[in-house]
Amino acid sequence: MVTTLDIAKRVSELVRIPSVNPLQAGPMSGDDGETELAHFLADRTEALGASVVLDEALPGRPNVYAHFEGQHDKTIVIDAHLDTVSVEHMTDDPFDGRIEDDRVYGRGSVDTKATFAVVMAVLEELLADNGPGPNVWLVGTISEEVGGLIGANAFRRWVGETGLGIDQLIIAEPTLCAAVHGHKGALGLEITVNGVAAHSSKPHLGANAISAAGRIIDALDAEHQRLQDLGGTTAVGPGTLSITEIKGGVARNIIPDCCTLYAGRRTAPGEDPAELFVALKEIVEAAAAPVDVVVDLAYGRGSAAFYEDPAGALINELSQLADSQPETATYGSNALAYIEMPAEKTLFGPGSIDQAHKAVEWVDIAELGRAADVYRKLLRP
């Protein structure tokens, strides 16, 4: 049996392969995004006996799909995203993968390279005997952290094209080994306010884009408060609305002719992103009037919320194996790309989201052992 310390060393090995999402890359990030990690995992899983597909979700940025043949017809997919967030704000070496204080440190250690190490170790054990019970697909997807879930959407399309039947889908995230059955979806508003420039001594000759943007912000803040007053209909809670970017103005003595904003709307279960976009666009246009405003849907689409029955078979089994209770999450995941796939779905993985994206990232080694015990029982014949 592979020991927990062995698994920790494998997490460390993966951490030492930089895989920062190119949209957040900086001087400390390395040059290849997820590519080196994808090829490493392809080689490693193929050496274990998997049949491997490298699927270029974007040019030079492949997803990796590793299939381990099982002893019966059930098929389980374990999807772990390859990319990590930026490392530029980290206060120690982001890629040293050091092991100390019963933890593995470094970017991606908890979010979410730990699952790759855990699952590959368990499969190695099972393959030394007669192999896993179910068919197992270990899937690595690009561009989960930012960019519109490009890798997950590519995998969903690939599943449709190949006709792969999936019974259960586990999306790897740091959940402290609890089965997460729901989280909010999202849509983004890219707002451009088009005013008219004028000398600041005669503001009546222009149309102030920043002033109009202020009215938009007030209107969207009011909409957010309305949602909170209504409350949620599930444990996921109500939708939220936040303005997170604003840019405008060219000089202190010029009435600004342009201002751009970004507003993020988190969707609750039961809400239709298309309908929400229409309603939000109307709120923005009414607030900006009489100034012209253009409202675009970020990435060209929104996502409905992810929500599964907390009493479902997969969630119940994982909860029993991990001695945990089903939970919901506040963050998003690749599950948003898989909502329409006819498979039981859950988020599950070692470590806490509280350690992700921080200046110092780490995963408890005890959590790796706990997750390995769950996967040993889940994937056994």
For residue 170, with 0-12 CB atoms within 10 Å meaning exposed, 13-18 middle and 19 or more buried, which class applies?
buried
pLDDT for residue 287: 98
Mean of all residue pLDDT scores within the chain: 97
Mean pLDDT to the nearest integer, 121-136: 96
Q: Please write the tens of the pLDDT for every residue from 302-336.
A: 999 999 999 999 999 999 999 999 999 999 999 99
> Does residue 232 surpass a pLDDT of 90?
yes
pLDDT for residue 35: 97
**What SS3 class is residue 1?**
coil
pLDDT for residue 31: 82
Q: How far, in Å, CA of 372 to CA of 321, rounded?
A: 11
Q: Tokens 């992810």 sit at which residue?
A: 306
pLDDT for residue 181: 98
Q: How far, in Å, CA of 97 to CA of 107, rounded?
A: 8
Q: Identify any residues that bridge with 187 across adjacent strands, giving them in sequence order.
A: 265
Which CATH number applies to 185-300? 3.30.70.360
Mean pLDDT to the nearest integer, 53-65: 97
Min mean pLDDT across 20-24, 28-32, 107-111, 188-192 is at: 28-32
Q: Please write the tens of the pLDDT for every residue from 154-187.
A: 999 999 999 999 999 999 999 999 999 999 999 9
Mean pLDDT to the nearest integer, 33-52: 97
Q: Please write the tens of the pLDDT for every residue from 249-296.
A: 999 999 999 999 999 999 999 999 999 999 999 999 999 999 999 999
The DSSP-derived string for 109-133 is: TTTTHHHHHHHHHHHHHHHTTT--S
Q: How far, in Å, CA of 287 to CA of 243, rounded?
A: 15
Domain ranges across the chain? 4-182+306-379, 185-300
> Does residue 3 surpass a pLDDT of 90?
yes
User: Cβ neighbours of residue 90 under 8 Å, at least 6 residues apart?
Assistant: 28, 107, 359, 360, 361
> Does residue 30 surpass a pLDDT of 90?
no
Encode burial over 118-147: b for 16+ CB neighbours within 10 A, e otherwise: bbbbbbbbbeeeebbbbbbbbbbbbbbbeb
Position 212 confidence tier, pLDDT thresholds 50, 70, 90: very high
Beta strand segments in 257-322, E: 258-267, 292-297, 306-307
Q: pTM score, two decimals? A: 0.93
For residue 23, with 0-12 CB atoms within 10 Å meaning exposed, 13-18 middle and 19 or more buried, which class applies?
middle
Of 252, 135, 12, the C-alpha closest to 4 is 12
> Does residue 15 surpass a pLDDT of 90?
yes
**What SS3 class is residue 182?**
strand
Mean pLDDT to the nearest integer, 26-37: 93
Do 149 and 300 contact (CB within 8 A), yes or no?
no
- Domain 4-182+306-379 adopts which CATH fold? Aminopeptidase (3.40.630)
pLDDT for residue 1: 85
Q: Please write the tens of the pLDDT for every residue from 81-96.
A: 999 999 999 999 999 9
